[in-house]
Chains A and B, each alone.
Chain A
Amino acid sequence: MEYELLKKTLVRLRRDELEKTLKKWSKLSKHHPAWGCLEGLDLSTTKIQLLPQLYKRLSKIQPHHAGELDLLYMLQHSSSKTWTVWLSTELHGSEGYAETPQAFRRRLKTALESYFMLDIQVMEHQKALWVRIYIHEDTKYQANNTVYAVYYPHSPVLILTAIKAANREYIIQAFSNTLSAGELEEQMLSGHCLSSLAQLSLNKYSQGYFSHYRLGQVDINALARGEKRKRKIEEEEEVLDDRITYENIKDKQRSKKILQDTFGSNEQPSLERLEYKMETNFRGGNCAPHFAKSKEPFRCRVKFEGRNVLEGIKNLGKAGYATLPLPAHLARVPSLAKNTIILGNKKSKRQ
């Protein structure tokens, strides 16, 4: 089984990362042979031919070694999976849990061992704990039995890939016990870009213009030369020629200011999809009076899809396609930490 997994991972790895990743892999556990043993590998052959070479040099490859290589691959290529954000209801702000990766692994393993036969690997990468759980169901390797999780220490945020329905409850329970996190709730925030998801959920209250304060861009040191110069050059590029004048410059400045206030001048975190689900009664009785009478909700869905939806909304405003100031349901999206927004009927006071 580890043979298949190793083969898959090696083939997926890009050539330029191959050597680096293999080096990192060999340094991982003390039982694992050092890189000295792997040095003579002929990396110019096809990747599949590397496998017998690896087997020859290393004493014994076990499933967990293959799992480590897989997790190393996932650290670099996290955009290949869809991640969903889960929040713990009991932890708030910076209360979360922090421990060494090995201790965390031991505790998670004891939580899940009684239910499944599994492999767990935990690594620390970019200030977060990355976990790979593989549940053995069969002797053959099945990719959809793997669950990847990223936990940011001292925060209530846990980001997971898709879990098989049968195993879901066990895994979520195990995580909430290990992190002593109370109940973990799935948020309506998901996407491919892990760092953006993390940014949106961790810094929920400092998006848009407030990101300037978070990143320390507000107080420019009077003695600092670099930043001021950069800003001046940007402004000069817009002034074209002395002979070309822009008449509606006030409008342009106004729209620029409004966009700056809403989105800030930093790059927006990338969301691939923004969905609005409406379950309100039909509005528009003037056009279709028949529908207006029905009491049932009129289901409607609006989807924005693209490489970076938030940047796109900002550019819509810049290009003049959207009237400024932007309506609240578009302008507040970065601060909502949500991908899917459900709009329901306003509940009247009587009910």
Chain B
Amino acid sequence: MSKTEPSIYGKMPILNSATLLIVGCHGIGKHELAKALVGVGTSYALQVRTATSLPLPENKETDRPKIDMVIFMIDMTDKRSMAVVESSLPHLDVDYFLGRVCFVIKNAQGLLDRSVEIEAVTQLADTYDSPLLCETVEPGQGGSSVAEKILQLLAISVGFHDHITPLLIDVTKRPYHTLLDSSIAWTPNS
């Protein structure tokens, strides 16, 4: 584990609390999502951190708690957001990708404004083996459902549910493009 990639096992967890990191370019709506997450209300202490790109600035490394889950936000109408996410992904330690990463896409409904291909996003989700969630435009009504889904994933990744690990979720997930699985196809006779 190199110094530039903070490992998930590098820090001690805090009792009954979870930390979430949202990564996305400027002005994409990280704070709205953070407010929705905090607004749901959980039995444990939730902390949300937002960043415009990875790697995170190093000077605050010691103050930072253990990050339990990372969310990448992509805006379908903005190519910049896709570029930011693609450049940040290599900086994340591999351990995170086993169920502790999630992609959230915005503005996926309008066909006219779209500048990021939906194929590119699904390929990304498959390559990194992580779930893909869609956030609708009205934050008041639709936003909280995304927040609840994220919080469920978070609770699993922190370990609040016995007998469910993030790896179990990851393995039972179906990929978007099944061609990717052909190389590791399991046949009953082998």
Interface residues of A (CB under 8 A from B): 240-241, 243-248, 250-251, 319-321
Contact = CB atoms under 8 A, between A and B. Distances in A.
17 contacts: A240-B34, A241-B35, A241-B38, A243-B45, A243-B46, A243-B48, A244-B34, A244-B49, A245-B50, A247-B52, A247-B60, A248-B53, A250-B57, A319-B26, A319-B27, A320-B26, A321-B26
A246 B38 contact: no
B16 interface: no
A247 B48 CA distance: 10
Given A319-B26, A320-B26, A244 B56 contact: no
A139 to B, nearest CB: 55
Contacts of B35: 240-241, 244
A320 B27 contact: yes
Contacts of A319: 26-27
A248 B30 CA distance: 13
Contacts of B56: 247
A243 B26 CA distance: 20
Contact of B52 (A245, A251, A321): A251
A321 B21 CA distance: 23
Contacts of B60: 247
A310 to B, nearest CB: 20
Contacts of A245: 47-50
B47 A243 contact: yes
Contacts of B31: 240, 244
A320 B31 CA distance: 16
A63 B106 CA distance: 63
A59 B48 CA distance: 77
Contacts of A247: 21, 49-52, 56-57, 60
Interface in B35-64: 35, 38, 45-53, 56-57, 60
Contact of B38 (A244, A250, A251, A320): A244
Given A243-B45, A246-B51, 17 more contacts: A240-B34, A241-B38, A244-B35, A244-B48, A244-B49, A245-B47, A245-B48, A246-B50, A247-B21, A247-B50, A247-B51, A247-B56, A247-B57, A248-B51, A248-B53, A250-B57, A319-B27
B73 interface: no
Nearest to A248: B52
B25 interface: yes
A250 B53 CA distance: 13
Nearest to A319: B27
A235 B151 CA distance: 30
B16 to A, nearest CB: 14
Closest 6 CB pairs of A and B: A320-B26, A247-B51, A244-B34, A244-B48, A245-B49, A248-B52
